[in-house]
Amino acid sequence: MRPVRTKAIDGTADSWSLPVMAYTLTSLPPLPFDTVIDVRAPSEFAEDHMPGAINLPVLSDAERARVGTIYVRQDRFLARKIGAALVARNAAVHIEGPLADKEGGWRPLVYCWRGGQRSGSFASILSQIGWRVEVVEGGYRSYRRLVSRLLYDTPLPHRLVLVDGGTGTGKTQLLQRMARDGAQVIDLEGLARHRGSNFGGWDGGQPAQKMFESHLAQVVTGLDPARPVFVEAESSSIGRVKLPPALWQAMGTAPVVRIEVPLSARARFLTTTYPDLTADAALLERRIESLKPYHPGDRIAAWHRLAHEGRYETLAEGLIEAHYDPRYRRPGGAERVELGTVAVPELTEAEIARAAERVMALGEAKG
């Protein structure tokens, strides 16, 4: 991946290239920055930011809107003057607050939307204190171009292996175990903060699309193309976030390892995997109601009765048989290679560990 350039503020160092995508990858050598600071407004930071960055806005959302309005509708010089005063005021708050304990050797890297006035002004103030601060040239936009190039414009060089199986077969737990055992894994549901079904939302909601892609790109850049990468078979969307083209295309032709688990074990597993639903009757009722477009009224009513009676395993079996298995069964394509099937009799820690070994062996044996 091509790097993003940075530039020194105090003139003591030449410009040099920095692989921004590698900020928080512990497998790489430490970078000469202690803190990455995003000085954009909170709403900009919330939508997306460089992984590991902290937000020290030099203009709030309201202040940014005010200065922009004056710049466009009134007078550019007045907007710059008001903006400078606000930046100085907010910079003082940050210096006396979050940055108060920073020693003389602290090295920050600062960026804003396009590496212009906001980051330059804040970096100049920090450099006057004596800190060796640098600014990302082109700001967040240059970083975002790297992410887009990786996930939209360039085929992934990695050899993916899909782990597929019906709802309740413990694929997420299996991948987590494989990661602990040293396999390369992309946890798409973890990155998307969603379990990939009508019942799958996480507390706190999902990240914005750009934030999802930033974290995905961070993971991808840390993977070794010479080794297989295990990914759960997913649809093109997980909740409201979409898989970017490079990954989706690679998944479309990736070989598959299938996981098979008895229905009763899957139902038991689901009742422990979704404790938020069994503990919240109103939430469970809403999720069952969301299935109305796909099933006759008598079936929806029967599921509601099972929920009201607390017969969660029976409800889970019904949902698997009538909804999830028929709707989420993925046919193999002409180019799809089946590496094998791993049968898991019960989703205990010991059985998941044994299944992880078999899946990893099948994936390593391919090519």
Residue 110 has a pLDDT of 95
For residues 174-188, average pLDDT: 96
The candidate with the shortest Cα–Cα distance to 268, out of 358, 345, 361, 181, is: 345
The token pair at 58 is 């030099």
Comparing 17-26, 105-114, 137-146, which segment has the lowest mean pLDDT? 17-26
For residues 246-250, average pLDDT: 95
Residue 12 has a pLDDT of 40
Q: By CB neighbour count within 10 A (0-12 exposed, 13-18 middle, 19+ buried), where does 82 fall?
A: middle
Show the CA angle centred on residue 28, arms to residues 26 and 32, nearest 5°.
95
End-to-end CA distance of the chain: 25
Tokens 């990954």 belong to residue: 247
Residue 124 above 60 pLDDT?
A: yes
- Is 112 a known active-site residue? yes
Q: For the chain, give every domain's residue range.
A: 4-149, 156-365
- Which is the catalytic residue, given 53, 91, 112, 162? 112
- In sequence order, what are the beta bridge partners of 260? 343
CATH annotation of 4-149 = 3.40.250.10
For residues 323-343, average pLDDT: 77
For the chain, give the percent of residues with pLDDT over 90. Answer: 72
Q: Options 3.40.50, 1.10.3470, 1.10.10, 3.90.105; which CATH number does 156-365 get?
A: 3.40.50
The token pair at 317 is 């079996």
Residue 8 has a pLDDT of 53
Residue 214 above 70 pLDDT?
A: yes
Q: What is the 3-state secondary structure (H, E, C) of 79-148?
A: HHHHHHHHHHHHHHHHHHCCCCCCCCCCCEEEECCCCCHHHHHHHHHHHHHCCCCEEECCHHHHHHHHHH
For residues 331-340, average pLDDT: 71
d(CA 147, CA 134): 21
- Give the pLDDT band (50/70/90) at residue 326: confident
pTM surpassing 0.75?
yes
Show the CA angle centred on residue 176, arms to residues 175 and 179, nearest 5°.
85
Residue 10 has a pLDDT of 45
Coil vs helix vs strand at 197 = coil
d(CA 140, CA 143): 5
For residues 226-243, average pLDDT: 93
For the chain, give the percent of residues with pLDDT over 70. Answer: 87
Residue 160 has a pLDDT of 97
Show the CA angle centred on residue 235, arms to residues 50 and 282, nearest 5°.
90
Comparing 78-92, 112-126, 212-226, 262-276, which segment has the lowest mean pLDDT? 262-276
Residue 269 above 80 pLDDT?
A: yes
Cite the DSSP H helix spans in 149-227: 171-180, 188-192, 209-221
Better-predicted residue by pLDDT, 89 or 282 = 89
Residue 101 has a pLDDT of 96
Residue 24 has a pLDDT of 36
Task: Give counts: helices (H), strands (E), the chain.
Answer: 16, 13
- Give the pLDDT band (50/70/90) at residue 33: confident
Q: Which residues contact 190 (CB under 8 A, 6 or more apart)?
A: 172
